[in-house]
Structure 1
Amino acid sequence: MEQSVVHSPGRAADPSPQPRDPAVAGDLRAYLLGGSADGPPEGGRRLARRLRGLLGPGTRHGLKMLGTRLAAPGSARRLRQLHDSGAPLLLNLGSGTYNVPGWVNIDLWGWHAAWGVHPDVVWDLRRPLPLPDGAVDAVFMEHVLEHLPAREGLGALEQCHRLLRPGGVLRLSVPDFGRYARSYVAAATGTGEDVAFLTQERPGRPTPLMAVSEVVYHHGHVSVWDAETLAALMRCAGFEHVTRRAYRDTDLSPVPDSPERLGESLYMEGIRAGSPDASS
């Protein structure tokens, strides 16, 4: 039976927010159906898109892990050679498409070749690196932790703590979600500071929320970090003298920071306790 809808006289209508611009709906449709411009150079991008079209995400992941497992014996030998050389060991873990000169760049086997980049060592960082405790002078992880659930992120930092010699430095870089959140509030309410940050770092998004959601959900991200939370995680993993740093503000040499990550990044450093000359 059809029922009539009764409106209470004293009740205000639902104040549903309206787009600030009628074009927003069209922009949103194009944004949701379009592809990301981020990717390898054009030739590599065409190849990567073709492969992605032929292979589903499960198949791609399986191939990546298979390639990594097949490379593991040679990678273990390479790490032993680097350790036995007696030279300082600086590890760039989860190097992706940015190999830092002077550092040992470590990542999964994958499609890095589409960007013209190959890691020095292929390894699944969910497995402990085959190096003795205290064998490493510094560890750098740039935009890696957001690809791990927080619990796995703690395990990764505990492995870094094991690898570092006393006095060794862990330098971390992640998207600064705290700043993204503040900028979103400023854009949505017209109050607060740093309102331009969203549009500077993620221009052309149809709404501020879509820009923020990319930090949470896109690019394989599964966790978000601000300065307070990241510092707490580092201390939980055993690091001391945890400090927030700026881009290229570090005593590490060569400086590992990628200039492409400067705008949105939060940088933190921590030290494994003990004298540099102490045994592990």
Structure 2
Amino acid sequence: MDLRRKISELLLRPLRDRAAERRLRRAARDGRPLKIVLGGAAPEPDWLGSDIGFFDATDPAVWADLVGGENRVERLLAEHVFEHIPPDLIPKVLANAYRYLKPGGTIRIAVPDGHNPDPDYIRNVEPGGIGPGADDHKQLFTIESLSAALAGAGFEVEPGEWFDAGGRFHEEAWPAERGHIHRSRRHGTPDKSFPSSHLSLLVDGVKG
């Protein structure tokens, strides 16, 4: 990103945050279905974007203020966000997600896959790696560690796409209505960034 684009991003981001916050508050106030993207823009018109600038997902008071009460949210989606959250804060985010989701609600998480067998992929996505944004990565999840974090918060775990510890790829028929994941076998397109850059570890947590 060149200097001009950096300056533009710094100027425009607060405006985008305020607009996204207004949309979220309005939807909650009007009683509309709440389908929230954590730390990103809304991929579809019926979803609501959020950003750390106004939505600190570690703070239960922020959830209460923005969505209006527990058991109000239908869907949560986080594509390549959780790897940027410090490990000690992951339980707080998931505890809040569980509390504010409706029974039967879901959180879909996609992150770089620590079991991807290609060493070039790992070098790009590991904390401090050489890939875009990896300088801010705090941990490298595997199917075991992400599933354990979700289960520890009370969620039923439903994997969608993942590599196992032996480097074998698995895919289940993950429901589209729980949120679009671009970096996935289903929707991603291999590019020249690094091998299998379009693949993620994709896991759903379902509130019972």
TM-score w.r.t. the length of structure 2 is 0.70
User: Counterparts in 2 of 1:206-221, with a 5 A limit?
Assistant: 212=123, 214-217=125-128, 218-221=134-137
CA contact (8 A) 1:248 1:255 kept: no
Mapping 1:220-239, distance limit 5 Å: 220-239=136-155
The one-letter code matched in structure 1 to 2:35 is: L
Q: Which of these residues, 35, 38, 48, is aligned with residue 90 of structure 1?
A: 35
Question: Corresponding residue for 2:49?
Answer: 105
Is 1:256 the counterpart of 2:180? The answer is: yes
Query: Is 1:133 matched up with 2:70?
Result: yes
Task: Trace 1:1-280 onto structure 2 (pairs within 5 A).
Answer: 39=1, 45-49=2-6, 71=18, 75=21, 78-95=23-40, 98-101=41-44, 102-109=46-53, 122-127=54-59, 128-129=62-63, 130=65, 131=67, 132-179=69-116, 182-184=117-119, 198=120, 212=123, 214-217=125-128, 218-240=134-156, 242-246=157-161, 249-253=173-177, 255-259=179-183, 262=188, 263-273=198-208
Corresponding residue SS for 1:230? helix
SS at match of 2:93: helix
RMSD: 3.3
Q: Deviations over 1:16-66 (max 9, x none)?
A: xxxxxxxxxxxxxxxxxxxxxxx4xxxxx34145689xxxxxxx8xx999x
Q: Deviations over 1:84-107 (max 9, x none)?
A: 323211111011xx5311210101
Normalised to the residue count of structure 1, the TM-score between the two structures is 0.54
Give the match for residue 26 of structure 1. Answer: none
1:149 Cα deviation (Å)? 1.5
Structure 1 unaligned spans of 5+ = 1-38, 40-44, 53-59, 110-121, 185-197, 202-210, 274-280
- Asked if the contact 1:64/1:108 (under 8 Å) is kept, the reply is no
Alignment CA distance shift 1:104-1:178 (3 Å): same
CA contact (8 A) 1:248 1:257 kept: no
Which structure 2 segments of 5+ residues have no match? Answer: 129-133, 162-170, 189-197
**CA distance in 1: counterparts of 2:25 and 2:83, whole angstroms:** 29
Q: Deviations over 1:114-152 (max 9, x none)?
A: xxxxxxxx4333333222101000101111111112120
Q: Which has the higher helix share?
A: 1
> What amino acid maps onto 2:112 in structure 1?
P
* Partners of 1:107 and 1:125 within 8 A in 2: no
- Work out the percentage of aligned pairs sharing the same amino acid: 24
* Dislocated runs of 4+, deviation >6 Å: none
